[in-house]
Chain A
Amino acid sequence: MEQIDNGTLSYSDTISCSETARSMGGSQIWLDPRETLTVDEMLKAICVVSANDCVVAMAEHIAGSEEAFVQMMNDKAKELGMTDTCFKNCHGIDEDGHVTSAHDIALMSRELLQKHPDITKYTTIWMDSLRDGKSQLVNTNKLIKTYKGITGLKTGSTSLALYNLSASATRDDLSLIAVIMKAPSTKVRFSEAQKLLDYGFSKFSFKSFGNKNDVIQTISVNKGVKSTVDVILENNAGTLIEKGKESQISQSIELDNNIEAPIKKGDKLGKVTFSLDGKELASTNLIASNDIEKITLFTMCKKIVYSWIDLLRS
């Protein structure tokens, strides 16, 4: 998805299948070395039916070889702080030393959903087809059909791993990720993931206070070509809160006392903090919405002349 974002890869690029990819085993769509699929079709096959042959084909296309791609995966895992993880392959077929933890799966799921939310276009597909209808795809994640608000994400099972699931869902403003590993059966993994999500949605809500770039206040500026500047939220402001306590949240705004020009757009001018019972829940920086240049003698004279002209007109 990073490569799609930066233009290196596009959804319509075609990918062919090597003998290695074709011989993967496990879940697959039986790629033929003579056929090519687009990136869009491969992503569909991977997200919906977990096709191992497509994963290897894509890995080879992106990195040249599966080994090189696995190295990229491990580098990214390290960058994300996934300290319980070591990848030995890109598909998840049992291999000694290929391990991770529920915590690390949650970390990488979160990173994917926050940075590349477009992936949910694929992960929420219940049924689809490839090859002009010849290959039918039905999602291995049964919660896609049954759980209100489900957005993904990925199932996994082998005889040794037993049954795993990373499930993501959004209701109102609250987005949760539940990870289950080593469930004794497929039924238990879905019911326990659902139990976790239900617990989260029944106990918590997400209180949103404003979006990035919302104007909070207009404050005065000394020695500037303009006398005021709008102060805006640097990021979306909101906090997780236990249900029922939303109205008890208090908000406090701190702004610098003496704002003096020159100011650059994005300069931090203060912050807004949200608290409950004296305990801080979240805070967001307040920043300048635009540049304000320092006033000079020339700009002051210009200002005076314009004021006179306005006066004469009115």
Chain B
Amino acid sequence: MRKTNNIITISLIVILSISICSISYGISDSYIWSLDTDPATPVSSNIVNSSDIVNVSTESQNENTLNLESGSAVLIEQSTGQVLFSHNEHEQLRPASVTKVMIFY
């Protein structure tokens, strides 16, 4: 009985430790993007490894002064096209329906 209790206690501690570790990785805001055919890793991924981040220039990373969570962002003035803010602005990502802006020509 005592032995069973010990095993249960140890198992609980192990499970708790793993949960705490996975939660702390899950809330990280690093994105992993690869240009090959693998789909983009979803936000809830437990894997965070800075060497997996490709196509992200180190300059852009430092420009995220507005602390945005999104993968990339840019702000421009419309008449001149002048860029007022950028964060990973050249990272190639899937546009989804924003594609349709192009069909309006």
Contacts and interface: CB of A to CB of B under 8 A. Distances in A.
Contacts of B99: 87, 89-92, 98, 100, 156
Contact of B76 (A84, A153, A177, A182): A177
Contacts of A91: 97, 99-100
Interface in A49-65: 50, 52, 55, 58-59
A77 interface: yes
A92 B77 contact: no
Given A59-B103, A154-B97, A157-B97, A102 B78 contact: no
A27 B97 contact: yes
Interface stretch (A106-114, A224-232, A253-261): A106-114
Interface in B50-93: 66, 68-93
B104 A116 contact: yes
B73 A99 contact: no
B77 A176 contact: yes
B26 to A, nearest CB: 11
B43 A101 contact: no
B76 A1 contact: no
Contacts of A176: 75-78, 84
Contact of A102 (B43, B82, B86): B86
10 contacts: A92-B97, A93-B96, A105-B74, A110-B76, A111-B105, A161-B95, A164-B95, A181-B70, A188-B69, A204-B77
B83 to A, nearest CB: 8
A239 B57 CA distance: 30
A291 interface: no
B85 A162 contact: no
A17 interface: no
B66 to A, nearest CB: 6
B15 interface: no
A289 interface: no
B76 A184 contact: no
B101 interface: yes
Interface of A: 1-2, 26-27, 43, 46, 50, 52, 55, 58-59, 69, 73, 76-77, 84, 87, 89-94, 96, 98-103, 105-114, 116, 119, 153-166, 168, 170, 174-184, 188-189, 192, 195-197, 199-200, 203-204, 206, 236, 238-240, 282
B40 interface: yes
A76 B27 CA distance: 40
A110 B95 CA distance: 16
Nearest to A160: B39
Contact of A76 (B40, B94, B105): B105
B77 A240 contact: yes
B19 interface: no
Contacts of A158: 94, 96
B39 A92 contact: no
Nearest to B81: A110
B1 interface: no
Given A160-B94, A161-B94, A199-B85, A180 B76 contact: no
Given A101-B91, A181-B95, A183-B70, 5 more contacts: A99-B92, A161-B95, A192-B70, A196-B85, A200-B84
Contacts of A27: 97
Contacts of A181: 70-73, 91, 93, 95
B75 A182 contact: no
Contacts of B93: 99-102, 161, 164, 181-182
Given A112-B105, A199-B66, A178 B96 contact: no
Contacts of A111: 105
Contacts of B102: 73, 76-77, 87, 90, 108
B37 interface: yes
